[in-house]
C-alpha cells in the first residue's frame, strides 16, 4: 500500500512546491490537447511554449530540464486552454507565415494558407518579365497576404487591395506597414469592384487576384471547429452553391482588365469544372487554365482576357 501511495504523495508535493521543467510542461500540455482531439498535440504545445518564451523549438529541446517560472507557466496554461477549445494556433500567437513573410492575423481575417501562395506564384510568373509597371487589383484581400507578397516581389507594381470588412483592412494596413510596402498599396473598403468604380482604372488592370469565399452554406457546419467557430464567416461562406462570389468576380473582371489581362482566382475542391464553364459563358476570355496545388487539387483558375 505504501509503495502505491508514496509516489503519488511525492508527485503532489512536487507539483505544489517545485516548478515544472519545460519537458514536463510540454508533456502535460500535450496530454490535454490530445484529450481535446487535437492531432498534433505535442507540436502545438511546443509552438505555444516557444511563443510564450520567445524562443525557438530548438531552444526548448536543449533546455528541456530548465524550470518554467510561475508567470510563464500561467501564460502557457492559458494558451493551452484556448487551443484545447480548438482555437487556431495562429489566433493565439497572432501571426502566420505566408510567402516567407510573417503576417499579423486576428479573428477579423482568414488565416493565410499555403495553397493561396499559388495565386502569388502565378501572378509573379505572368508579370515579372514584362518590364513595365503593372497595375494589380487584389479582391477579398483579408490580411493583405497576397497584395503584400506581390508588392514585395514586384517592386514597380501599383496595387489596389479591396475588402468589405473595415476590420480586415485595418489588419492588412498594419501588415503593409510592417513590410514596408504601404506606399504602393491602396486599400479600399467595399464590395468587390464597387470601390474601384471611382478610380480611372477600367480597362487598365494587368492582373486581378482573388481568394474569395467559396464554401457552400450547407457545408459550413461540417468544417473543422478551428475554421467553423473561429474564422470570419464573411470570408468563408459564399452561398448555396459556393460559387456565387466567384461568379460575380469572373463576370465583371473583363471590364477592368486590359487586353491580355489576367484573372487569377482561388477556388475550392471540385469547383474547377463549374468555374471553367462559367468563364467560358461569361465574357471575352481567350484562354482558361487551372493549376493544382501541392495536394494535387485544382486550386487556381486563370482566365486571360481577349
- pLDDT tens figures, 76-121: 999 999 999 999 999 999 999 999 999 999 999 999 999 999 999 9
Has residue 24 got a pLDDT over 70? yes
Q: Are 123 and 152 in contact (CB under 8 A)?
A: no
- The DSSP element (H or E) to which 101 belongs, if any, is strand 101-104
Residue 9 gets the label, from left (phi > 0), alpha (psi -120 to 50) or beta, of: alpha
pTM: 0.90
Domains of the chain: 2-85 (1.10.8.10), 95-305 (3.40.50.150)
Position 17 scores a pLDDT of 54
pLDDT at position 131, please? 67
Distance between CA atoms of residues 234 and 225, nearest Å: 16
Q: Using CA atoms, how far apart are residues 86 and 39, in angstroms rounded to an integer?
A: 11
pLDDT digits (tens, 9 = 90+) for 55-82: 999 999 999 999 999 999 999 999 999 9
In the structure grid, which three cell numbers stand for residue 21, read together?
A: 521543467
At residue 10 the predicted structure's pLDDT band, cuts being 50, 70 and 90, is very low
C-alpha cell at 120: 502569388
Q: Confirm if 26 and 60 have CB atoms less than 8 A apart.
A: yes
- C-beta separation of 60 from 46 below 8 A: yes
Q: What are phi and psi of 151, to 5 degrees?
A: -65, -35
Please give the distance of CA 78 from its chain centroid, rounded to a whole number. 24
**Average of per-residue pLDDT across 132-158:** 96
Mean pLDDT over each residue of the chain, to the nearest integer:
92
Rounded to a whole number, what is the distance in angstroms from the first to the last CA of the chain? 85
Amino acid at each position: 500500500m505504501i509503495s502505491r501511495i508514496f509516489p503519488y504523495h511525492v508527485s503532489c508535493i512536487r507539483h505544489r512546491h517545485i516548478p515544472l521543467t519545460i519537458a514536463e510542461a510540454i508533456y502535460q500540455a500535450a496530454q490535454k490537447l490530445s484529450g481535446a482531439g487535437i492531432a498534433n498535440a505535442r507540436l502545438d504545445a511546443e509552438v505555444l511554449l516557444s511563443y510564450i518564451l520567445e524562443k525557438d523549438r530548438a531552444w526548448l529541446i536543449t533546455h528541456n530540464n530548465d524550470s518554467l517560472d510561475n508567470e510563464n507557466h500561467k501564460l502557457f496554461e492559458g494558451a493551452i486552454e484556448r487551443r484545447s477549445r480548438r482555437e487556431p494556433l495562429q489566433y493565439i500567437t497572432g501571426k502566420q507565415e505566408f510567402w516567407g513573410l510573417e503576417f499579423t492575423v486576428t479573428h477579423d481575417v482568414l488565416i493565410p494558407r499555403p495553397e493561396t501562395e499559388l495565386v502569388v506564384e502565378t501572378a509573379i510568373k505572368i508579370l515579372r518579365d514584362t518590364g513595365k509597371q503593372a497595375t494589380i487589383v487584389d479582391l477579398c484581400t483579408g490580411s493583405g497576404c497576397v497584395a503584400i507578397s506581390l508588392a514585395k516581389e514586384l517592386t514597380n507594381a501599383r496595387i489596389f487591395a479591396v475588402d468589405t470588412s473595415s476590420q480586415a483592412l485595418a489588419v492588412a494596413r498594419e501588415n503593409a506597414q510592417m513590410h514596408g510596402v504601404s506606399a504602393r498599396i491602396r486599400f479600399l473598403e467595399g464590395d468587390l469592384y464597387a470601390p474601384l468604380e471611382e478610380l480611372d482604372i477600367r480597362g487598365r488592370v494587368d492582373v486581378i487576384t482573388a481568394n474569395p469565399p467559396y464554401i457552400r452554406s450547407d457545408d459550413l457546419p461540417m468544417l473543422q471547429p478551428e475554421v467553423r467557430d473561429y474564422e470570419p464567416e464573411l470570408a468563408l461562406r459564399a452561398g448555396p452553391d459556393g460559387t456565387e462570389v466567384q461568379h460575380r468576380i469572373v463576370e465583371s473582371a473583363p471590364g477592368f482588365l486590359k487586353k491580355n489581362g489576367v484573372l487569377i482566382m482561388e477556388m475550392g475542391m471540385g469547383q474547377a469544372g463549374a468555374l471553367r464553364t462559367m468563364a467560358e459563358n461569361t465574357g471575352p476570355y481567350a484562354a482558361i487554365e487551372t493549376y493544382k496545388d501541392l495536394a494535387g487539387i485544382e486550386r487556381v483558375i486563370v482566365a486571360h482576357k481577349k
